[in-house]
Amino acid sequence: MPAVELRGITKRFPGVVANDAVDFTAEAGEVHALLGENGAGKSTLSHILSGLYRPDEGEIRVHGVPVAFHSPRDAIDAGICMVHQHFRLVDRFTVAQNLILGDRRGAGRRFRIDPGAVTDQVRRLGERYRLPVDPRARIWQLSVGERQRVEILKALYEEAKVLILDEPTAVLTPDESRTLFETLREIVAEGRTVIFISHKLREVKAVSDRVTVLRAGRVVATTNTADASPQSLASLMVGRTLETVQRRHTGTAEGDVVLALEDVWAHSDRATTSLKGVDVSVRAGEIVAVAGVAGNGQRELAETIAGLRGPTRGTVRVGGRRLPGGDARAAYRAGLGYVPEDRLGTGVAPNLSIAMNVDLKSYRDDSWGPFLRLARMRRRAEEAIRTYDIKAPGPDAEADTLSGGNIQKVVLAREFAGRLKALIAASPTRGLDVSAVETVHRHLCDAADRGVGVLLISEDLDEIFALADRVLVMYEGRLTEAPRDDRETIGVLMAGGHPAT
C-alpha cells in the first residue's frame, strides 16, 4: 500500500490550472523526486499535500485512508510534513522553541512549558539522526545549512511519515547537499517517505529512487530514476529538446580592463563589514563569475559597484574612470549596466509601464526639458518587445503584470540600451523557467562577444560552468580565484575551507 496516493488532483487559480488531474503515488521507504519547471505545478501539489491549499477536485489517501486537510495541522497530524524552501522558522526563537511550536501531542499538550525537558528531548532527537544542532541556539545565529537541519528535525519531531522537501539544495553548498542526501537516505531506510522537489536533474539522479515529471500542471511521466537519462528527463520536463547555452572559450581575454575594483571594503545594512578588501578586474569580452552561498557579501558587492552603496575604502573603476562612491547615476554614465538580484523590487518599477521601465535610466538623454517624449519611448519599447521577445500585451502593460522571465527581459533591454562597457548580473536567472534561463544566458554571452565585460554573481554552479571564463568564490566578504572547471575545489572554497593542494 502506498504511503501517499493522490488521485485526479485538480487545482485552479484565476486564469490558470495549476494542477490538472494529477495522479501521484509515493511508497514507504523511497525518495520520490518531483521534477518540473517553475510553474509546472510542483509547489501547488506540495501545498495541497501539506494542507496549505485545498484541491478543487480529487482525492488524497494516506496509507490507503482517504483524508481531507483543512489546515497544515491536519496534514501534520496525518504524518505529512513540509520543509519549505523559505524556511518557516521563527528567527528569534531557539531551536527547541521552534520544534515544539504548535505541538499538540504528549508533553506538548500541557499549558506550561518546561524548557529543560524540551531541550533534552530535542538533543536526543538530533543525536539519533546525526543532525547535530544546539537546541538552545537562536535561529538567527545559525547558518542556512543548520536552519535546514532544524526544519528536518521539526518534521521528525512531529513523527512525520512523509517529508516533503521543496528545492532543499537551493541554499546549500555542494558539500552540505551531499550531507543532506545522506540524511535523506537514512530517513527512508526507517520506512519513511521523502518527496524531493527539484528542477535540478543532477540532484534528482543522485538522490531519488523514482521520479515523477510535471509539465504545465500535468504528470507527463513516472519512472525509476535509474532507468532515466538526464537528457530524457530534461526533454520530458521542457517538452522539447533543450539546447543549453555553452559559451565558446576563446582562451585568455586580451581586451582592456573595463571593470576594476581595488581593495574595496563596504558595510552591510546591519553596519557590519561585509566586503573585506575585494580586488576584481574584468576585461572587455570576458565573463567573470562570482560563486558562493548567498549572504557572503554578494549583494553588497553588486550594490557597491552599481553605486547604490558607498564603499568605506577602496576604488571602483569602470572603463578606467574612477567612480565616486554611492552615485548610481555616475556609474550608469560611465557605462555600467546592472541586472539586480531583486528583479521586481530593484530591477523595475512594478507599477510603471514597460515603456517607462525601458527608459528608466536614459529618459534624460532624450527629453524635451522637463517633458518626456512619450511617443518615442513607446516606439523604443515596442522595439525592445520585438528584440527581446517579451510576452506582453504592449508597451503600456505594467511591469508587475509580467512573468519573472519577461520582467528580466525588460531589465536586459534597458541595461543593454546604452553604450555598455561593463555589466553586473546578480543571480540573473534565479526563479526563471528553463526557457527564460536560456534567453538570459544567450544575451549575456552575446554581450560578452560584443566586448562587454560581464561580472556574473550566481549561486548556481551549473550556470557558472556554462558561462564563465574565470571563477571567483566569495566567502565572508573575500574573493578567491578558483580553477574554472573544478566543482570540488569551488565547493570547498564556498564553505570557507582551503582546497587541498
How large is the angle between the packed helices 434-449 and 404-415, nearest 10 degrees? 10
Residue 221 CB, shortest distance to other proteins, in Å, is: 20
Nearer to other proteins, 155 or 287 (CB): 155
- Exactly one of 2, 58, 108, 255 binds other proteins (CB under 8 A); that residue is 108
Query: Any contact of residue 113 with other proteins (CB under 8 A)?
Result: yes
Query: Any contact of residue 371 with other proteins (CB under 8 A)?
Result: no
Nearer to other proteins, 84 or 361 (CB): 84
| Stretch in the footprint of other proteins (CB under 8 A) among 110-118, 125-133, 347-355, 479-487 | 110-118
Q: Which among 447, 440, 477 has a CA at the least distance from the CA of 304? A: 477
Residue 458 CB, shortest distance to other proteins, in Å, is: 25
Q: Which three cell numbers stand for residue 224?
A: 525509476
Task: Pick out residues in 3-32 that bind other proteins (CB under 8 A).
Answer: 13-14, 16, 18
Task: Pick out residues in 115-154 that bind other proteins (CB under 8 A).
Answer: 154
Nearer to other proteins, 100 or 293 (CB): 100
**Going by C-beta distance under 8 Å and a sequence separation of 6 or more, which residues neighbour residue 88?**
151
Q: Which among 126, 173, 175, 128 has a CA at the least distance from the CA of 151? A: 126
**Going by C-beta distance under 8 Å and a sequence separation of 6 or more, which residues neighbour residue 393?**
none
- Exactly one of 23, 74, 175, 327 binds other proteins (CB under 8 A); that residue is 74
Long-range contacts of 292-295, Cβ-Cβ distance < 8 Å, separation of 24 or more: 292/459, 292/473, 292/474, 292/475, 292/494, 293/144, 293/171, 293/172, 293/173, 293/459, 293/494, 293/495, 294/144, 294/171, 294/459, 295/144
Residue 95 CB, shortest distance to other proteins, in Å, is: 13
- Exactly one of 2, 7, 25, 93 binds other proteins (CB under 8 A); that residue is 93
- Exactly one of 57, 59, 91, 342 binds other proteins (CB under 8 A); that residue is 91
Nearer to other proteins, 57 or 127 (CB): 57
Q: Which among 79, 222, 234 has a CA at the least distance from the CA of 161? A: 79
Nearer to other proteins, 47 or 215 (CB): 47
Cα separation, 268 vs 432, whole angstroms: 27
- The angle subtended at Cα 421 by Cα 394 and Cα 311, nearest 5°, is 100
- Number of neighbours of residue 238 by Cβ within 10 angstroms: 18
Beta bridge partners, 266, equal 275
Going through 286-421 in order, the beta strands assigned E by DSSP cover: 287-291, 313-318, 321-322, 336-339
Query: Any contact of residue 486 with other proteins (CB under 8 A)?
Result: no
- Exactly one of 89, 133, 160, 316 binds other proteins (CB under 8 A); that residue is 89
Q: Which among 185, 181, 172, 124 has a CA at the least distance from the CA of 133? A: 124
- Exactly one of 54, 88, 124, 322 binds other proteins (CB under 8 A); that residue is 88
Q: Which among 197, 217, 166, 193 has a CA at the least distance from the CA of 56? A: 217
Query: Any contact of residue 84 with other proteins (CB under 8 A)?
Result: yes
- Exactly one of 8, 59, 73, 231 binds other proteins (CB under 8 A); that residue is 73
Residue 339 CB, shortest distance to other proteins, in Å, is: 25
Query: Any contact of residue 41 with other proteins (CB under 8 A)?
Result: yes
Residue 133 CB, shortest distance to other proteins, in Å, is: 17
Cα separation, 22 vs 30, whole angstroms: 20
Nearer to other proteins, 71 or 231 (CB): 71
Nearer to other proteins, 45 or 457 (CB): 45
Query: Any contact of residue 55 with other proteins (CB under 8 A)?
Result: no
Cα separation, 312 vs 266, whole angstroms: 5
First to last CA, the chain: 52
Residue 55 CB, shortest distance to other proteins, in Å, is: 13
Residue numbers at the binding site for other proteins (CB under 8 A) = 13-14, 16, 18, 39, 41, 43-44, 47, 50, 52, 71-74, 76-77, 82, 84, 86-93, 97-98, 100-104, 108, 110-113, 154, 271
